[in-house]
Structure 1
């Protein structure tokens, strides 16, 4: 049996009747005559060679088993077309069809999650690719063309290929387990150099050979901030951490803030970064504002 090809309008009518429970309700919702709705359903049933509604014994049409089985498929087709049209409208309006965002590992996870959740609701047709990197690797993604926008730290400085807009800053504090020798009061100058320092490593050649707040010649280089956090709590070394990430540990006593004479803690400035030879579209511009608002809370 050769089946016909239903039209999008017929599928809309089918869904409307199923949702409103009557031809009259569907007609009112769609701004159509009842006869037009009835005709649309009859045509769809003829195209599919199936009865979609049981009209006998009741004034209200009831979905047949075949109709129930096809309703989800009809909704999927209509939703897909609606998404296609929404994306086409956004492209006409200048919105990016896709966006690759790189976020510095130092950005608080709760801020990133809140911003990205709101982004998906605001820009449902923009396909977002997310990367998490540390230090110079954030800017490297932009310079090498692998990203459109980044929220990164200050380690690159004013690179000639990048535009920069400040969006906030984090407090970094030196911490260690309470059993660590540096956790005692009145630590002598230079004492920190005698103990293992846990350091977030930079995998980017942009900053190869540079050190960031490294005091000790004894270091473990870690590419993951979460791993560094775990090793600090185990008492295996000391190191700087974002205050927000360790606030709970400081409150519970799992970690203590170190009072070192060198004062290695610092403010870690965060900026939105993008290539100077590109222009931010509506979605990317929204992200810049959202991260600035989120980091300023």
Structure 2
């Protein structure tokens, strides 16, 4: 019966399984063998099962006993996590950290920081989601994420606290076999009007405004990797984060596209922010993650230009 089950009983059962005998379990737990035997007998009696076969020289786990040892380990582990989470909360660590990122955010530094976060806060529950353009900000507002890494256009909203992390320089590119790649000069507005621009858009408003549109022939995507597939296939041109297209520029599958009087070029790079709601302060783990990411982006070996 669950009401009479104690963590101590489960700890004794697991210790016997690990040490191989009642006496060895007593030595590890610093208890008399008789106390260990009584704990097992009480556990068997209250649960109505036979955990040990006592017909031989020494008690051996029954089939049911072996199965319940596994369950006991799970319960003890869960109790340990419960205690660690409670202790962390007392020390200002949030019980859970939900993170959301927009597609423009480079993942390599984020992966390194999340690994380091796991080492620094091993009992922290972390949830992670990748979103379409604008999705991370929406998750913040719905309360589904505590921290978002995203681009905020046209400016940082008043209800968000946003820390600039890095600039995002988008590079106009086109497949090497596309007509625009063979111009031999900067493309004009008239040149671009003849070809499709592959545009990354907000999935909640696929026909809404997008950054850097030139011309009227647009194909809209909510998935950055799918847009890259269409770009490599020569079905249009677009602006892409440089770190994503660098391998294809190096092997010649893509070429950089110069644009005459490009308004996006005059407006400068986009900024990627780490953002959270002003009314919802970050806990220790969230602040730690931000500090670690800042160090990685500011370090010369990890500086990222996208």
Task: Bin the TM-score by the shorter chain.
Answer: 0.7 to 0.9
Judge conservation of contact 1:52–1:67 (CA < 8 Å) in 2.
Answer: yes
Q: 1:209: Cα distance to partner? A: 5.8
- The residue correspondences of 1:148-163 to structure 2 (distance < 5 A) are 148-163=146-161
Partner SS for 1:164: strand
Q: Which residue of 2 aligns with 1:287?
A: 289
Q: Which residue of 1 aligns with 2:95?
A: 97
Q: Which residue of 1 aligns with 2:62?
A: 64
Q: 1:19: Cα distance to partner? A: 1.0
Q: Which segments of 5 or more consecutive residues in structure 1 lack a partner in the other structure? A: none
Q: Does 1:200 align with 2:168?
A: no
TM-score by length of 2: 0.81
What is the RMSD of the two structures over their aligned residues, measured on CA atoms?
3.1
**Matches of 1:112 and 1:82 in 2, distance apart?**
28
Q: Which residue of 1 aligns with 2:176?
A: 178
**Matches of 1:4 and 1:256 in 2, distance apart?**
69
> Closer, same or farther in 2 for the Cα pair 1:4/1:181, shift >3 Å?
closer
- The residue correspondences of 1:8-87 to structure 2 (distance < 5 A) are 8-55=7-54, 57-58=56-57, 61-87=59-85
Q: 1:243: Cα distance to partner? A: 1.7
> Closer, same or farther in 2 for the Cα pair 1:4/1:241, shift >3 Å?
closer
Q: Which residue of 2 aligns with 1:239?
A: 238
**Matches of 2:152 and 2:3 in 1, distance apart?**
62
Partner SS for 1:271: strand
> Closer, same or farther in 2 for the Cα pair 1:65/1:151, shift >3 Å?
same
Judge conservation of contact 1:175–1:240 (CA < 8 Å) in 2.
Answer: yes
> Closer, same or farther in 2 for the Cα pair 1:182/1:28, shift >3 Å?
farther
**Matches of 1:115 and 1:232 in 2, distance apart?**
31
> Closer, same or farther in 2 for the Cα pair 1:69/1:202, shift >3 Å?
closer
**Matches of 1:160 and 1:236 in 2, distance apart?**
39
Q: 1:144: Cα distance to partner? A: 5.0
**Matches of 1:114 and 1:225 in 2, distance apart?**
22
**Matches of 1:4 and 1:211 in 2, distance apart?**
59
TM-score by length of 1: 0.83
Partner SS for 1:278: coil
